[in-house]
Structures are given as structure tokens and as C-alpha cells.
């Protein structure tokens, strides 16, 4: 690899637009993997990714490509290039991972499914790439499909501000599935990306142990190798045996092994400017391999590369073991999984009702869902996951800002009355697309979820149903609950929805309240929720009913109450049990009555019980009530 001129690129696309398929074809065409034509998805290595068709972690792979150039005498010359492909996740929950992967690249392929056109995530990725100043190579994929509409895509690209007539941005039409036009993609990568200064013709600088700047853009924990960091060498070279220093922490390490993925890990002993590969040094803990960090040589003065902003969790939920005794095992499993995904935050929490558990922060709902399924698939842990909460922002009169990620931390009514507290909730910009006939229904759905209409567009499509595109500003809290199932059912599955966090408009002030519940005067903390005042009474009624259904009859009457700000908003009553169990047995024989009472007592004994004041609830039914997974 050392003598080859490098090009580092990434593929960005909306989910299912063909990124993984294209990556497979590129690897086959360059002989990096054998030709199979099958859908191999080489880059998607984690089991959960393959099953769900989602790329979670970014991966890097190198390949060599023989670029053909006509010589002056008419013969064909060949120049071999080193191409480094950095894969990025495609879902909006992972926008942060996209940005850190792109920073390691020189250019990006913007893949668009020509039958679908530009989608929200295409735009979100496009913006990240543009902000980083990366050259973009638009690719219209799936042109083999009869539904593909290249002209419409061209118009949409122009709308994004891409001059499709400019040779540098001229879109390529391909089919990643059949391989049509894929060779042109390789050519275009070479032609349209400039060589990094100092790497032309493979004359890669070494600078003799000086000037190394390596950008850490991904890392994970491997049970055999320890901490593995993926780096993109921006200047100089890194060699096995080098003493390197983290610009972020100042900590010093020794390079124990270094190499590339081709497509599997291969030691090379060195990585030079323009190359992308993995480094193993004596890091003990994942947290030492900070994403966005610059590694440099010991005793060398360098300017660190521009870092990254840390990821911010947008959805919080609590996880509790189904059996209280399993907490230690659960916590261990959570920590091990979180080790490979630093965008997850973990904090211990305890609930009166559920015992010890963990409060987890995720980038979005999909992220949370993937985490939960990995936990049960890879660690065999059955867990209870509570309702998701978004991070609310609380600003005190003295200007102090704090984030409230759990109802436990919601300010008390007294505090709110006495102090001028500003409460805000996160908002997103959503883009909903559906066939025209569902427009009314979908607008209704958005407004039920406190959405504010921003824009409505009807597409002009020949031979197909007219599509409508609705743009809404929506509170994040509204889309983490039942928005998606409703969207699907009320549009007969035809509507699509994507959201992004609008920069500079992350929060809006909101009339938020805490809804809490009591059984005969004793609070049940695990059921509390933060929500908008307009929803509190209706939700209070729904949950009071659900709660009533899981409270077994007692010897006394039990009041189920829902409170907002000290006021009861809903009430249900569980009537006393002796009266009811035997009701309807007028004068029936006493032995039967006694037996029924005895049976019920024993039945209750078998299950663990949750004690709320004087009331006992079988924990199994309480868990069912709480679990939203
Ligand atoms: P990703 O989510 O962007 O990685 O998309 P995938 O590469 O997983 O592709 C999504 C689906 O589209 C898969 O079922 C592919 O087989 C299919 N697909 C990808 N490229 C093409 C193409 O050029 N033509 C057709 N007809 N299908 C394609
Ligand atoms: Mg994929």
C-alpha cells in the first residue's frame, strides 16, 4: 500500500437506498472480496445490524484500484490507487457518527434511490458533508427499477444547490444490484477527489518521526486485542513501536500493532498520510480512545485537528431486571455493551417499586430499540424498559441550566410556584411523506401531537400517485411514544417519517407538568411521567384505568389516583375483595366459598409481590404494565 496514491471516501445515503450493496460491488470490482453477486453486506459486521439491515458502527476497509489512462501513444496506461472506504450509519439517530466518520474522509458518495428520490436522511447527511466542506459525488442508484425517476432526482439535487451540469458534480446513474455503472464510480472517485498534498504518486511523506497527526474516528473493545482505534492519518506517519500521545488527555502510549482492513485486519507496521487503518496501543479503557482526538508522536509539537462535539442523548429510559436478583448481571451486560457505544450513557437508579436499575440515555428511539435487542440477544438478559423520556431543560433565575432526564428530578410544585423556572422541551423538524389521499389524516395526526406546520409540497409525478410532503416542527416527546405506530396504521403503511434536530432551535419553552400516581395515598414512583399540560388529564385517566386493572382486590377499598400539581385529575376505585369474590353465590354451600378464598390466597403467594403502602400487587402484572418494549 505504501507506494500508492490514496483516496479516502465515504458513502452516505438514506436507509435502504443501497449503500451496503454498493460497498459490496466496489469491493468485488477491486478484487478485495470474491465476486458473488450476493448481498453480502461486508461492512455490516454486527449481528444485529445484519438482521435489521442497519449499519450501526462505522467501519473502514481499504482496496486497490487500477485506474486506466490513455497514453499519448494511444496505449492504455495504468495507475494503481489505494481507496479507503469508511462506512457510515444511515439512520438519523446516528447523525453524530456520520459526522465523525466524514471528517476522516476526502469526499463522499451521495447515494440516492432513484425510485424514491431524495429523502430526509439524504438531506441531513448532505448538510453534514457540506458543513465539513467535503466534495460530493451524487449517485442515482436502482436505475434498473421501472419506478426509478432520474429526472425528478436531478431536479431535487438542483434544489439542494448541486449543479448537476458541472462535471465535478455530474450524477452517475448506476444499479448497485446488477453492477451497472459501478466501474464509473471508482473512476470518478479517483478523478474528482484531489490527492492530499504530499501524497501524489505514492510519494508519501514520512517526515522522519515528525508531524504525525492521526484522527481517531472510531474505536471499540475487542476481547482478544483490547482497545482498537480506527485512525485516518492526516499528516506524517505512525509506526509500530512509536511512542504516541493523545492531544486530548496528554497520555502516552506505545503502538503495539498497526495495519489496515483488507478486508480483514492485516498488520502493515506503518500507516502514512492519506491511509486509514487500525491501531492497537496499550490503552486499558475504551474511554481513552476519544473519538475526534488527535494522536501525535511523543516529543513533537503539533496543532491538534479540529475535534468533534460530544454526542447528546435525546431519549432516556430505565432498564430493570425482570427478576430483582439479577441486577448485578444486568449492570455488567449493560456496561459491556455500552463500552462499544459511547453514545449511550449509563447511570444507576433505584425505584421503590422495581429496586435497582439503570437509567440509560440514547441518541433516539431506534438506538434504544437496538440496544435492548442486543442486550437480550448477546447477553440473554430479559429486561423491563420503562417509557422513554426526552431530556427537558430547566433554567433557574440565576441562569443555571440543568437537564432533567427523569421524572424524579422534575421540580416540585412549590419550587415552580416560588421561583421563576424556565422549562423547555426538545423539538425536531419532521418530514412526513405519503400519498395525497392521506394528507388530511396525516395533518390531523401531526396536530394531535402538537405539531406546527412549516411547509406542504405536492410532487408532480407522471404515472404514479401524487405524493405529499409535510414539514412540521414537533416536540421530540411526541414522537418517542405512539407516533410511529399511529402514522403507519392511519396511512395504511404508506407514510414515511424522518426527523432531525434543527440547529439553533433545539428547545422551546413548554407548559410541562409531572403526572404522578398514588394507591390509597402511597405514591408509585416508577409510573410518574413528564408531559405537556394539555395531555395530562387524558393520560392520567388512561393510566389510572390500567393501574386499576393490575391491582388485585384487597380486604379494603383501594383508591387509584392520578395527580398533576397536587390536584387529582383521575380516580378509579378497586372495591374490597371479600364482597366480590363470593358475589353471585347466593346461599351456595359454604365449603365452595371457603375453597375459593383459599385458592386465591395461594395463587397470590406464588408470585412475588410489590408492596405499595398496604396494597400488594403481583410484580409480574406491574412489570407488564410498565414495560413499553
Ligand atoms: P442501505 O440501507 O443503504 O445499506 O441499503 P442496502 O444496500 O441494504 O439496500 C437496500 C435494498 O435495496 C436491498 O434489498 C438491496 O438488494 C436493494 N438494492 C440496492 N441497490 C439496488 C439496485 O441498484 N437495484 C435494485 N433493484 N435494488 C437494489
Ligand atoms: Mg446498509
Interval 226-244 mean pLDDT: 92
Q: What is the pLDDT of residues 288-303, one digit of tens each?
A: 887 788 999 998 888 8
Average pLDDT of the residues in 362-367: 81
In tens, the pLDDT along 65-104 reads: 999 988 888 888 899 999 999 977 656 566 666 777 888 9
Q: If you measure from the C-alpha of residue 614 to the centroid of ligand 2, how many angstroms do you get, rounded to a whole number?
A: 53
- Least distant ligand from the CA of 113: 1
Give the pLDDT score at 310.
59
Q: Which atom of ligand 1 is nearest to the CA of 145?
A: 26
Q: Which ligand is nearest to the CA of 21?
A: 1
The chain-wide mean pLDDT, for the chain, equals 83
The neighbour count for residue 72, using CB atoms within 10 Å, is 6
Residue 466 above 90 pLDDT?
A: no
Mutate to test the pocket of ligand 1, among 176, 181, 184, 185 (most ligand atoms within 8 A of CB): 176
Minimal-distance CA residue to ligand 1 atom 28:
177
Does 21 have pLDDT greater than 70? yes
Closest atom of ligand 1 to 23 CA is: 7
Instruction: Tell me the C-alpha distance between 388 and 480, whole Å.
Output: 7
Residue 613: the pLDDT is 76
Coil vs helix vs strand at 485? helix
pLDDT (mean) for 229-239 = 93
To test the ligand 1 pocket, which listed residue (11, 21, 42) has its Cβ within 8 A of the most ligand atoms?
A: 21
Distance 438 CA to ligand 2 centre (A): 30
Q: Which ligand is nearest to the CA of 43?
A: 2
Ligand closest to CA 119 = 1
Distance 115 CA to ligand 1 centre (A): 11
- Which residue did the predictor score with more confidence, 254 or 312? 254
Q: What is the ipTM of this complex?
A: 0.99
Grid coordinates representing 235 are 499528516
Residues with CB under 6 A from ligand 1: 13, 15-21, 39, 53, 90, 141-142, 144-145, 175-177
Q: At what angle do helices 483-490 and 439-448 cross, to 10 degrees?
A: 160
CB 353 within 8 A of CB 611: no
* 338 CA → ligand 1 middle, Å: 30
Q: Report, as an integer, the average pLDDT of 455-481.
A: 82
Q: 37 falls in which pLDDT band (50, 70, 90)?
A: low
- How many whole angstroms from 177 Cα to the centroid of ligand 1? 7
pLDDT tens by residue, 265-286: 899 999 999 999 999 998 887 7
Q: How far apart are CA 530 and CA 134, in angstroms?
A: 41
- Which residue's C-alpha comes closest to atom 25 of ligand 1? 142
Which pLDDT score, from 0 to 100, does residue 254 have? Answer: 96
Q: Using N-to-C axis directions, what is the helix angle for 327-339 and 365-379, rounded to 10°?
A: 120
Tell me the pLDDT band of 205, cut-offs 50, 70 and 90.
low
* For the CA of 55, the nearest atom of ligand 1: 4
Q: In a 3-state reduction of DSSP, which class is residue 339?
A: helix
pLDDT at 468 over 60: yes
* Least-confidence region, from 190-194, 247-251, 539-543: 247-251
Helix (H, G, I), strand (E, B) or coil at 434: strand
Report d(CA 82, CA 494) in Å as an integer.
43
The pLDDT of residue 271? 94
For ligand 1, atom 6, which residue shows the shortest CA distance? 18
- Whether residue 414 has pLDDT greater than 70: yes
Model confidence band, residue 55 (pLDDT cutoffs 50, 70, 90): very low
| Residue environment code for 179-214, b if the CB has 16+ CB neighbours within 10 A, otherwise e | eebbeebbebbbebbebbeebeebebbeeeebbbbb
Q: Which of 304, 286, 307, 297 is nearest to 252 (CA)?
A: 297
Output the pLDDT for position 54: 43
Amino acid at each position: 500500500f505504501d507506494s500508492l496514491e490514496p483516496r479516502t471516501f465515504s458513502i452516505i445515503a438514506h436507509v435502504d437506498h443501497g449503500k451496503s450493496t454498493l460497498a459490496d460491488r466496489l469491493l468485488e470490482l477491486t478484487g478485495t472480496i470474491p465476486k458473488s453477486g450476493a448481498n453480502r453486506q461486508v461492512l455490516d459486521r454486527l449481528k444485529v445490524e445484519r438482521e435489521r439491515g442497519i449499519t450501526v458502527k462505522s467501519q473502514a476497509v481499504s482496496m486497490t484500484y487500477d485506474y486506466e489512462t490513455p497514453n499519448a501513444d494511444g496505449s492504455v496506461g495504468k495507475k494503481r490507487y489505494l481507496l479507503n472506504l469508511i462506512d457510515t450509519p444511515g439512520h438519523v439517530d446516528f447523525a453524530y457518527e456520520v459526522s465523525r466518520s466524514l471528517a476522516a474522509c476526502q469526499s463522499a458518495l451521495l447515494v440516492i434511490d432513484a425510485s424514491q428520490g431524495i429523502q430526509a436522511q439524504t438531506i441531513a447527511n448532505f448538510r453534514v458533508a457540506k458543513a465539513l466542506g467535503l466534495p460530493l459525488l451524487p449517485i442515482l442508484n436502482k436505475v434498473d427499477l421501472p419506478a426509478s425517476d432520474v429526472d425528478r432526482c436531478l431536479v431535487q439535487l438542483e434544489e439542494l444547490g448541486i449543479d448537476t451540469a458541472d462535471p465535478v458534480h455530474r450524477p452517475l446513474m448506476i444499479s448497485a444490484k446488477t453492477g451497472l455503472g459501478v466501474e464509473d464510480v471508482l473512476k470518478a472517485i479517483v478523478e474528482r477527489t484531489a490527492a492530499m498534498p504530499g501524497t501524489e504518486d505514492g510519494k508519501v511523506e514520512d517526515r522522519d518521526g515528525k508531524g504525525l497527526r492521526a484522527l481517531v474516528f472510531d474505536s471499540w473493545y475487542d476481547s482478544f486485542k483490547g482497545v482498537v482505534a480506527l485512525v485516518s492519518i492526516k499528516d506524517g506517519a505512525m509506526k509500530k513501536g512509536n511512542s504516541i500521545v493523545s492531544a486530548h488527555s496528554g497520555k502516552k502510549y506505545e503502538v503495539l500493532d498497526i495495519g489496515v482492513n483488507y478486508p480483514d485486519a492485516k498488520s502493515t507496521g506503518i500507516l502514512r498520510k492519506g491511509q486509514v487503518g487500525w491501531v492497537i496501543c496499550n490503552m486499558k479503557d475504551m474511554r481513552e480512545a476519544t473519538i475526534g482526538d488527535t494522536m501525535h508522536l511523543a516529543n513533537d509539537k503539533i496543532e491538534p485537528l479540529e475535534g468533534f462535539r460530544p454526542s447528546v442523548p435525546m431519549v432516556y429510559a430505565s432498564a430493570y431486571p425482570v427478576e430483582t436478583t439479577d441486577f448485578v448481571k444486568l449492570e455488567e451486560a449493560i456496561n459491556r455493551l455500552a463500552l462499544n457505544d459511547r453514545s449511550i450513557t449509563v447511570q444507576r437508579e433505584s425505584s421503590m417499586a422495581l429496586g435497582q436499575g439503570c437509567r440509560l440515555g440514547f441518541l433516539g428511539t431506534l438506538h434504544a430499540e437496538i440496544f435492548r435487542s442486543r442486550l437480550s440477544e448477546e447477553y440473554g438478559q430479559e429486561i423491563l424498559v420503562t417509557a422513554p423520556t426526552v431530556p427537558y431543560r430547566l433554567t433557574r433565575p440565576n441562569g443555571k441550566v440543568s437537564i432533567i432526564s427523569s421524572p424524579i428530578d422534575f421540580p416540585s410544585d412549590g419550587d415552580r410556584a416560588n421561583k421563576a423556572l424556565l422549562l423547555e422541551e426538545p423539538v425536531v423538524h419532521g418530514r412526513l411523506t405519503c400519498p395525497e389521499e392521506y394528507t388530511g389524516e396525516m395533518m390531523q395526526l401531526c396536530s394531535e401531537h402538537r405539531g406546527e406546520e412549516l411547509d406542504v409540497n405536492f410532487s408532480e409525478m407522471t404515472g404514479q400517485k401524487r405524493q405529499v410532503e409535510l414539514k412540521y416542527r414537533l416536540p421530540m416527546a411526541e414522537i418517542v411514544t405512539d407516533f410511529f405506530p399511529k402514522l403507519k396504521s392511519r396511512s395504511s403503511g404508506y407514510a414515511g417519517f424522518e426527523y432531525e434536530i434543527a440547529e439553533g432551535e433545539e428547545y422551546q419553552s413548554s407548559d410541562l407538568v409531572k403526572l404522578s400516581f398514588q394507591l390509597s395515598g402511597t405514591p408509585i414512583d416508577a409510573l410518574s411521567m413528564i408531559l405537556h399540560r394539555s395531555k395530562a388529564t387524558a393520560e392520567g385517566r388512561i393510566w389510572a384505568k390500567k393501574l386499576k386493572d393490575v391491582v388485585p382486590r384487597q380486604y379494603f377499598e383501594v383508591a387509584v389516583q392520578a395527580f398533576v400539581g397536587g390536584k387529582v385529575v383521575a380516580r378509579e376505585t378497586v372495591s374490597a375483595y371479600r364482597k366480590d369474590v363470593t358475589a353471585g353465590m347466593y346461599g351456595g354451600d359454604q365449603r365452595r366459598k371457603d375453597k375459593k378464598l383459599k385458592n386465591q390466597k395461594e395463587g397470590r403467594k406464588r408470585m412475588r409481590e410489590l408492596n405499595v403502602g398496604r396494597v400488594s400487587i403481583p410484580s409480574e402484572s406491574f412489570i407488564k404494565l410498565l414495560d413499553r418494549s
